[in-house]
Amino acid sequence: MNIKITGVGSYIPDTIEKNEDFCQHEFLNTDGTSIKNSNEVIIEKFKSITGIVERRYAEPHLTSSDLGAFAAEKAINDANIDPEELDYIIVAHNFGDVKPNTIQSDLLPCLASRVKHSLRIKNPKCVAYDILFGCPGWIEGVIQAQAFIKAGMATKCLVIGTETLSRVVDKHDRDSMIYSDGAGATVIEATDEEGGILAHVTESYTYDEAYYLYFGNSNKQDLYSDTRYLKMHGRKIYEFALNHVPVAMKACLDKSGYGIKDVKKILIHQANEKMDEAIIKRFYKLYNTPTPEHIMPMSIHKLGNSSVATVPTLFDLIKNNKLENHSINKGDVIIFASVGGGMHINAFVYKY
């Protein structure tokens, strides 16, 4: 028995927020003082580091669970299964359903229950639950799904990553330009076909690193005293990722039984172009091997960082030939990897 991704789908919102749309924002330092550079300079520097030119925001009437349900429907259709046969629905997110212009996230009922309700699944033995694991949440959901299947507790699982980060960012913080909205979903099944999940690794670093991503006050200190926003220590995250993610990826690949030259694609969380490039470069350096061209697909330039949704959305785009210079063929060995709030790192090696 092998455990494979048999269906994939994503929901990319229609609303495009371009870099130039931030020209009128009042960006401030963390202490509330004005930034000396003009917004044009701030935005250009931001683009050179992150690679982001534009990002997507969800329509005001839609929530994270709505986006997740849309992506799930596509994944179920792609897998050509009856949704009533699903044993688990695992929804990875970080902030629940956040409606525009509100200061509360809504987690009751859990988003997985809402998605199951939206899909009109009647089967009570289809267990729906959420996973809060930072940006690596979708990958961790896949790892949990394959564990359920291996243990004989399931044959079909639906794993979703969905987020509306545009609703939890501080518009006075330059980092707010990184984040976006979206959802990706996959059906995980037991199958007799060759390939599937070959190895996985998960690590949590919390002794010093737990609060590298956190909820904090707006940079505009005389406003929004009762509201908290997504904040990060960017330099610390960058250094953490470079020191730990390549090592975890190597441990995962070594465990799979395949070598570095067998790897055809690396689908890494779309956090920051420069950071992701540096991670991949260090990963190949661990094998004393030059980094191949077109090994790392990127969607961040047009879609931004949608947290748990970035990796499954990227996979969906490649699978459907919507990303230039990138394709996946039967038998290809792929590494999926992520890093994020907690601080958590995970990866799995997959034979397509």
**pLDDT higher for 1 or 56?**
56
Closest CA to 351 of 337, 336, 335, 331: 331
Position 86, amino acid: L
| Cβ neighbour number for residue 7 with a 10 Å cutoff | 23
Q: Where are the domains of the chain?
A: 2-193, 198-351
The span from the first CA to the last CA of the chain, in angstroms, equals 15
φ/ψ (deg, to 5) at 301: -60, -40
Question: What pLDDT was estimated at residue 182?
Answer: 98
Question: What pLDDT was estimated at residue 104?
Answer: 80
Confidence of residue 259 (pLDDT cuts 50, 70, 90): very high
Looking at domain 198-351, its CATH class is: alpha beta
Query: Measured between alpha carbons, how far is 338 from 194 in angstroms, rounded to an integer?
Result: 25
User: Percent of the chain scored above 90 by pLDDT?
Assistant: 85
- Render pLDDT for 74-91 as a digit per residue (tens, 0 to 9): 999 999 999 999 999 999
Question: What pLDDT was estimated at residue 219?
Answer: 87
Question: Does 198-351 match 2-193 at the fold level?
Answer: yes
Average of per-residue pLDDT across 31-59: 91
- pLDDT at 223 > cutoff 80: no
* Tokens representing residue 162 in the block: 């969905």
Averaged confidence pLDDT in the chain: 95
From residue 105, alpha-carbon distances to 110, 128, 160, 208, 228 in Å are 11, 19, 19, 27, 11
Average of per-residue pLDDT across 273-293: 95
Closest CA to 50 of 161, 174, 198, 197: 174
Confidence of residue 150 (pLDDT cuts 50, 70, 90): very high
For the ranges 32-36, 179-183, 277-281, 337-341, the lowest mean pLDDT is seen at: 32-36
Position 233, amino acid: H
Which CATH number among 3.40.47.10, 3.20.20.60, 3.40.50.720, 3.90.1150.10 corresponds to the domain 2-193? 3.40.47.10
Closest CA to 235 of 41, 49, 53: 49
- pLDDT at 256 > cutoff 90: yes
Dihedral-angle region of residue 321 (phi above 0 means left; psi in -120 to 50 means alpha; beta otherwise)? left
> pTM for the complete prediction?
0.94
Confidence of residue 312 (pLDDT cuts 50, 70, 90): very high
Question: What pLDDT was estimated at residue 237?
Answer: 95
Average of per-residue pLDDT across 186-190: 97
Question: What pLDDT was estimated at residue 220?
Answer: 87
Average of per-residue pLDDT across 228-235: 91
Query: Measured between alpha carbons, how far is 163 from 347 in angstroms, rounded to an integer?
Result: 20
